[in-house]
Amino acid sequence: MNRAGSPPGRRHLLKGAVLAAASSVMLPEPRAGAQTQAPDRPSALWAPAAPANYTVSDRPSPRHPVDLVVIHVTQTSFDKALTIFRNPKKKVSAHYVVRSSDGRIAQCVREADVAWHAGNWEYNTRSIGIEHEGWVDRPAYFTDALYERSAELTATVCDRYGIPKDRAHVIGHHEVPGSDHTDPGRNWDWARYMRLVAQS
Ligand SMILES: [Zn+2]
């Protein structure tokens, strides 16, 4: 694993805390990639994507309202997905990745920025992209924890932007025009997922 992507050590956290306590008002804002707390979801692991893999923006804005959530399946492991998003050559990212085993959520791109996940620029600009660890043909990866934590995340996103919690606004990657991807695939339980989103 790439060292730059490791969680910050205790020493770094302590140093940050001391600096913040001493003179937070005098310090410039940290760069987005330098902060240790996920910007939109403080409980998430902040695993920032390489700046080459997304477009900085100021969403929601009149030019770029946010009115969709796009559901993906990684077709690789949680750790490898984060590694891919950190690789500036990959030109791909998502706002969030949800781990199969326990529903742990990593945030990789600020919601204000445009992640490159849908394969369609307009849909990228309108959406929050959520990746789920697993493979479309391996339903065992779609655990209770993954569904529950992801649904709670999607509900929070919908509430934040006023996005209706329905299938017209919470869509699969395969429903993006021009997409040749099949995820999340036929094993994804949409009825269950949308019920959880509505209840969260
Ligand atoms: Zn996808």
Tell whether the torsion through CA atoms of 199, 76, 45 and 173 is positive or negative.
negative
pTM for this model (two decimals): 0.83
Ligand 1: centre distance to CA 31 (Å) = 28
- Please state, in angstroms and rounded to a whole number, the distance separating the CA atoms of residues 40 and 111: 7
Q: Return mean pLDDT, the chain.
A: 88
Q: What is the pLDDT of residues 4-14, one digit of tens each?
A: 333 444 444 44
48: amino acid identity, one letter: P
How many degrees, rounded to 5, is the angle at CA 93 between CA 87 and CA 34? 65
- Residue 31: per-residue pLDDT: 52
3-class DSSP state for residue 55?
Answer: strand
Q: What is the pLDDT of residues 87-134, one digit of tens each?
A: 999 999 999 999 999 999 999 999 999 999 999 999 999 999 999 999
The predicted pLDDT at position 127 comes to 98
Coarse DSSP helix, strand, coil percentages of the chain, rounded to the nearest 5 percent: 40, 15, 50
Backbone angles phi, psi at 53, to 5 degrees: -105, 10
- What is the predicted pLDDT for the residue at 36? 78
Higher pLDDT, 48 or 27: 48
| Cα 179 to ligand 1 centroid, rounded to whole Å | 9
31-58: pLDDT as tens digits: 544 567 999 999 999 999 999 999 999 9
pLDDT for the residue numbered 175: 98
Q: Which CATH class is domain 36-199?
A: alpha beta
Query: What is the distance in A from the centroid of ligand 1 to the CA of 176?
Result: 9
**What b/e readout covers 67-87, taking b as 16+ CB neighbours within 10 angstroms?**
ebbbbbbbbeebeebbbbbbe
Residues with CB under 5 A from ligand 1 (ion): 72, 173, 181, 183
Q: Which residue has the tokens 């991807």?
A: 181
Domain ranges, ordered by start, for the chain: 36-199
